[in-house]
């Protein structure tokens, strides 16, 4: 499924319909590039500068005292000074569609401007702007067109907007009235500055404050009036100069760098005559939109520097997005939602770092598509897992809800434990229990069978609760016996300790059960319970018929646990464990080695141990007696039956196991065992 997701999403991301989404990534990569690598280039190295008709211009004499249509003589002085300073080309992102230079108004008023336009236009250093609309175009006044050199020096100022009204691309040309192609305003300026101009391109915006040097028209006019020719040569020689509006409400567009640090409307470069005053200059810093003149300047710089951004090609986009989707899909299938979310964010962080490095060199990786597909794959995979795993959880809860503690069922359902509902080999610990005195109990309630069932059910409730509290699983009830299981269906690395602890708690609970129920309610003699516990490999899983299944454990480990439970009758003990179980216990419990026992159906002896109790609850006298018993057992194993018998006789006063060995020692004294005897005893108990 992860691979299928990758292929489908890779195809979706590589199609032409996704180009707009990929371009949106530029808006995120620009601020990242700025944060990591700084501006693309220092503002002082910008090939293009802007002369701004800004708030300061409107508030500074003589502009503040004159209607804008009458600014042409002041503008002419600034244009002439810029041209004389050695500007490579001047572009006017500024249209005067009307003029005062008309009969009946002020004939000859625009003469200074017309002369400046004529001089620069004749030398190929001037481009006027026009705006093409659907019905008509806004063009410069006829006299200005003629002075500038006619249509060859007029180009469209139109910008190319994406569907979200952000300028990321720039058209190198437009279709003219005759059906031909004519360069755009920015492309024409760049071409005249010696740049190679091709087709439509992605603008590689510089970032940071003052990324394109911007000069106030008011300051430049004051500079001309004050004889600042050297200032103009220092700032405009060899530059592409764009003159345009830079107001906070006029001709503003959203560039791709709108999220980048700083802004192009920040403090201007070195002033000539008028000291910088933010109140007069205009508080435009930090705005997401910028004047159109600055967008044209960024487009010109991109062409002159030859560093237009390039989208990753379709094959590369397919490969990157398909691989990312496949990896994320695999991770989300393997991990829980919280871990999957962290892993997904980690993958996106790595991809973002690679994308930022590639973007520094001009390649736009499909970072938005990668982000969207990560969210999509996360939602799809975990929705699928929720549906599928919810069904599995219901099956698990249905299968084990009546046999396991609720908390353990939840762990299984949440997938915290390894679980297969078929057969598998597991290392498990198995416990068998049986009631000692059940015959007496059943005879006492012979005339009241419903009460016998009630006692049994209440007894089973007590033992089941104990088993479940110690993370065990009650496999089955067999007459008056119970089979308990640890290590399956939920794995348990401390299964031996849990099983023994459960048996000890059950023995304590049985005393209370006898006092309150068997003796207190029914007036009968108390019952006892014998436990046999063994550890080893077993086949666990669902067994049964096609219509009835039971989760159980089968094999020699199970059989031996049942035999150990029966062996309690031989030694008068209540809790016997195998050597394998004993090895899994720690010093918390006191064990007493009982015998080397050959159980029915086996030919090899095994060591068996009695669990006496918790070490902190066994007194010193009891520990001393256990030590004496095991010392006598050593003598017994060495065939020193007389010496062993003497110790066992002393212990046999209140120890049934010692009595067993007294009888054996007596027997072996009269009938010694064979020469190959290894101290073992063959049990006849089934």
Q: How would residue 418 be classed by pLDDT, with cut points 50, 70 and 90? A: very low
Alpha carbon distance 113, 78 (integer Å): 10
Higher pLDDT, 321 or 36: 36
CA-based nearest residue to 592, from 630, 561, 619, 628? 630
The answer, yes or no, to whether residue 6 has pLDDT greater than 60, is: no
Least confident of 290-304, 438-452, 453-467, 553-567: 438-452
Structure pTM?
Answer: 0.61
- For the stretch 80-121, pLDDT in tens is 999 999 999 999 999 999 998 888 888 889 999 999 999 999
Q: Which range is least confidently modeled, 148-157, 438-447, 599-608, 643-652?
A: 438-447
Question: Which residues does residue 685 pair with via DSSP β-bridges, in sequence order?
Answer: none
Nearest of 336, 356, 343 to residue 32 by alpha carbon: 356
Cα 451 from chain centre: 59
**Band (265; pLDDT cuts 50, 70, 90):** very low
For the residues 32-49, what does the mean pLDDT come to? Answer: 91
Given a contact cutoff of 8 angstroms between Cβ atoms, the answer to whether 82 and 71 are in contact is: no
Packing angle between helix 656-670 and helix 620-637, nearest 10 degrees? 20
Q: Examine the pLDDT at 367 and tell me if it is beyond 90.
A: no
Q: In whole angstroms, give the CA distance from residue 468 to residue 389.
A: 25
Residues 6+ apart with CB under 8 A from 345: none
> 10 Å Cβ neighbour count for 21?
16
**Which own/partner pairs from 630-636 qualify as long-range (CB within 8 Å, at least 24 positions apart)?**
630/592, 630/593, 632/658, 632/661, 633/593, 633/661, 636/661, 636/664, 636/665, 636/679
**Nearest residue to 564 via CA among 680, 426, 683:** 683
Phi/psi for 249 (5° steps) reads: -130, 5
Q: Are 263 and 290 a contacting pair, CB within 8 Å?
A: yes
pLDDT band at residue 262 under the 50/70/90 scheme:
low
Position 419 confidence tier, pLDDT thresholds 50, 70, 90 = very low
Least confident of 232-246, 282-296, 425-439, 545-559: 282-296
Give me the phi and psi of 459, to 5 degrees please.
-65, -45
Angle made by CA atoms 383, 386, 390, in degrees to the nearest 5:
155
Higher pLDDT, 138 or 1: 138
* pLDDT greater than 80 at residue 415: no
Q: pLDDT (tens digit, 9 = 90+) per residue, 316-364? A: 888 888 788 888 888 888 888 899 899 989 998 998 899 889 989 999 9
Count of beta carbons in the 10 Å neighbourhood of residue 66: 13
Residue 184 has pLDDT above 60, yes or no: yes
Q: Span 131-153, mean pLDDT?
A: 88
The answer, yes or no, to whether residue 390 has pLDDT greater than 70, is no
Q: How confident is the model at residue 75 (pLDDT cuts 50, 70, 90)?
A: very high
Q: What does pLDDT average to over the chain?
A: 86
pLDDT in tens, 242-259: 999 988 777 889 999 888
Per cent of the chain over pLDDT 90 is 54
Assess whether pLDDT exceeds 70 at residue 412: no
């Amino acid at each position: 499924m992860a691979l299928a997701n990758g292929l489908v999403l890779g195809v979706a991301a590589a199609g032409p319909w996704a180009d707009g989404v990929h371009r949106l990534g530029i808006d995120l990569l620009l601020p990242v590039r700025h944060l990591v690598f700084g501006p693309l280039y220092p503002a002082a190295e910008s090939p293009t500068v802007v002369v701004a008709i800004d708030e300061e211009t409107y508030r500074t004499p003589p502009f503040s005292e004159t209607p804008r249509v009458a600014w042409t003589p002041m503008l002419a002085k600034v244009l002439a000074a810029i041209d004389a300073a050695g500007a490579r080309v001047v572009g006017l992102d500024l249209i005067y569609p009307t003029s005062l230079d008309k009969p009946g108004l002020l004939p000859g008023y625009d003469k200074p401007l017309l002369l400046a336009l004529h001089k620069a236009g004749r030398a190929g250093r001037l481009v006027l702007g026009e705006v093409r609309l659907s019905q008509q175009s806004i063009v410069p006044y006829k006299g200005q067109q003629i002075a500038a050199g006619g249509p060859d020096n007029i180009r469209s100022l139109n910008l190319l907007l994406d569907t979200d009204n952000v300028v990321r691309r720039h058209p190198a040309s437009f279709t003219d009235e005759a059906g031909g192609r004519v360069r755009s305003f920015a492309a024409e300026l760049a071409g005249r500055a010696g740049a190679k101009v091709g087709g439509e391109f992605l603008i590689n915006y510089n970032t940071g404050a003052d990324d394109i040097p911007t000069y106030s028209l008011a300051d430049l006019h004051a500079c001309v009036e004050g004889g600042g020719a050297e200032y103009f040569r220092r700032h405009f020689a060899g530059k592409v100069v764009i003159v345009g509006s830079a107001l906070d409400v006029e001709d503003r567009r959203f560039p791709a760098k709108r999220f980048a640090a700083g802004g192009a409307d920040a403090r201007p470069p070195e002033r000539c005559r008028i000291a910088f005053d933010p109140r007069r200059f205009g508080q435009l810093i930090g705005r997401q939109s910028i004047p159109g003149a600055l967008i044209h300047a960024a487009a010109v710089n991109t062409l002159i520097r030859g560093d237009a951004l390039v989208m990753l090609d379709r094959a590369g986009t397919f490969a990157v997005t398909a691989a990312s989707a496949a990896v994320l899909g695999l991770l989300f299938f393997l991990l829980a939602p919280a871990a999957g979310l962290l892993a997904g964010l980690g993958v996106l962080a790595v991809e973002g770092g690679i994308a930022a490095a590639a973007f520094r060199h001009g390649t736009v990786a499909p970072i938005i598509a990668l982000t969207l597909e990560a969210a999509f794959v996360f939602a799809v995979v975990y929705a699928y897992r929720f549906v599928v795993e919810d069904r599995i959880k219901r099956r698990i809860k249905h299968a084990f809800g009546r046999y396991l503690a609720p908390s353990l069922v939840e762990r299984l359902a949440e997938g915290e434990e390894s679980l297969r509902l078929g057969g598998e080999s597991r290392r498990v610990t198995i416990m068998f229990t049986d009631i000692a005195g059940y015959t007496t109990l059943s005879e006492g309630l012979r005339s009241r069978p419903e009460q016998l069932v009630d006692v049994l059910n209440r007894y089973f409730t007590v033992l089941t609760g104990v088993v479940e509290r110690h993370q065990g699983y009650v496999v089955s009830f067999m007459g008056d016996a119970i089979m308990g299981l640890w290590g399956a269906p939920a794995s348990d690395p401390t299964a031996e300790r849990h099983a023994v602890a459960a048996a000890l708690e059950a023995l304590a609970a049985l005393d209370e059960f006898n006092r309150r129920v068997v003796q207190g309610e029914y007036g009968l003699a108390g019952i006892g319970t014998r436990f046999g516990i063994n550890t080893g490999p077993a086949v666990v899983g669902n067994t049964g018929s096609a219509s009835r299944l039971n989760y159980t454990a089968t094999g020699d480990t199970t059989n031996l646990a049942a035999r150990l439970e029966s062996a309690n009758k031989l030694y008068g003990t209540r809790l016997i464990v195998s050597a394998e179980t004993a090895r899994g216990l720690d010093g918390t419990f006191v064990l007493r080695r009982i015998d080397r026992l050959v159980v029915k159906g086996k030919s090899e002896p095994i060591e068996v141990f009695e669990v006496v109790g918790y070490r902190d609850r066994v007194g010193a006298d009891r520990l001393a007696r256990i030590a004496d018993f095991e010392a006598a057992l050593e003598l017994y194993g060495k065939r020193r039956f007389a010496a062993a018998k003497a110790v066992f006789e002393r212990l046999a006063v209140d120890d049934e196991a010692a009595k067993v060995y007294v009888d054996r020692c007596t027997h072996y004294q009269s009938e010694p065992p064979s020469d190959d005897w290894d101290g073992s005893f063959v049990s006849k108990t089934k």
